[in-house]
Structure 1
Amino acid sequence: MKRYLVIAFLLVYQAGMGQRVLFVAAGQSNSVGQGDAAQSVKTAHGWEYRSQGDSLARLLDPVGENALDFQRANTGSAWPAFAARYFERTGREVVLVPAARGGSSCHEKAELGDMGTWYPTGRKPLFENAILKVQQAERKTGLKTAGIIWLQGERDANAIFDQKMTPAEYEQALEELITRFRSRLGRPVPFYIVLTGNQDGREPIGNEAVRKAQQSVAKRLPDVQVVYEDTPLFPAQKRMKDFVHYGQDALNEIGRVVAEKVK
């Protein structure tokens, strides 16, 4: 009798997981989220994977955890809004793997202090920890990653502005990062890019170069898509929290729009 109860539980659990989809949110501080949890969307239809405890928790801000060199939202993020809209559109619940660190660079040349880099080498490489967390989440849920959502570029934009690296080097690093994700996960996981915004009060030379590189990679690589383009408008719209971070209203919009475009 006990054996049949266990089997029944596993069947119900697996059926429930069939109504869920696993996404990764990676990048730097605007992916972490620097908004306001009080203004974040509340949803009962999202989950986040936490490496600490190998557990699932409701996807409510502040999303994320300070573990594996990744960070928790301070205090609001785009991800509850993403999960809410995705459920409205598809009827499936999001399981999110937050894997972002403030100030992290895509290219090693742009790495600043201990803020980390997504490049294979550097003072604090982040890629291997991201793979570890994603693989843990896949084992926990029995789901394969449906897509990686990428919000990153301000650190490299500053390095380009300061002539410490070139736009071509950022573009090559981004393309290689996508290739590494797909190689390690064993399949051509879709890669979704939120274009890098501008920094309030700073000439957007570097930011424009990063956006052009992101758009170029999306045009050339299969299953790479720009899913949000209006971030450069945020400073003029007074939707910034500070000179570089998006306010909660902007984060909520990013989440909603991205959820309408991902598969």
Structure 2
Amino acid sequence: MSFANRVLQKNPKLGPLGLVPCAVGGLMGTKISEWAKGGFLYKQLLRRARMARKTGGSIQGILWFQGESDTVNVMDAKMYKRRLVNLFNNLRADLRSPLLPIIQVAIITGQGPYVEPVREAQLGLKLPKVSCVDAKGLPLLADKLHLSTPAQVRLGRMLADAFVNQS
């Protein structure tokens, strides 16, 4: 909600604003490879986006916050950037929006020792209309993995600022 509220605060002409959640929760999260084209999660994401369009909406951007599970295995961490580029390119192609704005979040924690290679991939991604918001410095819960509620609110505002600046 902090994202939507901030976007509308900065640009009321964008309203009404709907969000299409595609997050997969759980303790372990998901690896980027699980979002590959043709896979279950990818198909679900497209199905939800198409349903939003059928009901009169339009897809104006993607918010992407994922990567902690890719810090466990060195090969997943090394392949992260290539898989992320493929995902973003495939989504833009399948949604027929080659310059769809994408704002991703650079992770600050992970489930394994390869946080920095994944962060470097996220921060170093160079695609048109793709920006990165760094979550570093935001407070975590006691589990040292998930963001606190105030951190989630702050991150929502950061994502909104990046979105409005890209639009």
Report the equivalent of 2:5.
Answer: 84
Where does structure 2 lack aligned partners over 5 or more consecutive residues? Answer: none
Q: Is the 8 A contact 2:36 2:83 kept in 1?
A: yes
Report the equivalent of 1:232.
Answer: 136
1:98 aligns with 2:21: yes
Q: What is the TM-score normalised by the length of structure 1? A: 0.56
1:7-46 mapped onto 2 (5 Å cutoff): none
**Counterpart among 210, 218, 234 of residue 118 in structure 2:** 210
Shift of 1:168: 3.4
- Helix, strand or coil at the partner of 2:114: helix
Q: Is the 8 A contact 2:103 2:162 kept in 1?
A: no
Q: Is the 8 A contact 1:86 1:93 kept in 2?
A: no
Shift of 1:105: 0.9
Cα distance in structure 2, aligned partners of 1:245 and 1:169:
23
Cα distance in structure 2, aligned partners of 1:221 and 1:119:
18
Q: Is the 8 A contact 1:156 1:210 kept in 2?
A: yes
Q: Which has the larger radius of gyration?
A: 1
Deviant stretches of 4+, over 4 Å: none
Letter in 1 for 2:17: V
Cα distance in structure 1, aligned partners of 2:32 and 2:86:
10
Cα distance in structure 2, aligned partners of 1:176 and 1:131:
15
CA spacing shift, 1:232–1:170, aligned 2, 3 Å: same
Q: Is the 8 A contact 2:70 2:118 kept in 1?
A: yes
Where does structure 1 lack aligned partners over 5 or more consecutive residues? Answer: 1-79, 108-116
Q: Deviations over 1:169-227 (max 9, x none)?
A: 1111000000110110011211111111124xx77x4111111111222xx2111111x
Report the equivalent of 2:108.
Answer: 197
**Counterpart among 38, 43, 50 of residue 128 in structure 1:** 43
Shift of 1:121: 6.2
- Helix, strand or coil at the partner of 2:62: strand
Q: Deviations over 1:112-165 (max 9, x none)?
A: xxxxx112466xx30011001100001102x321100000000001223xxxx1
**As a proportion of its length, which structure holds more strand?**
1
Percent identity between the two aligned chains: 27
**Which gives a bigger RCO, structure 1 or 2 (Cα 8 Å, sep 6+)?**
2
Q: Is the 8 A contact 1:83 1:93 kept in 2?
A: no
**As a proportion of its length, which structure holds more helix?**
2
Report the equivalent of 1:48.
Answer: none
Q: What is the TM-score normalised by the length of structure 2? A: 0.86
RMSD: 1.8
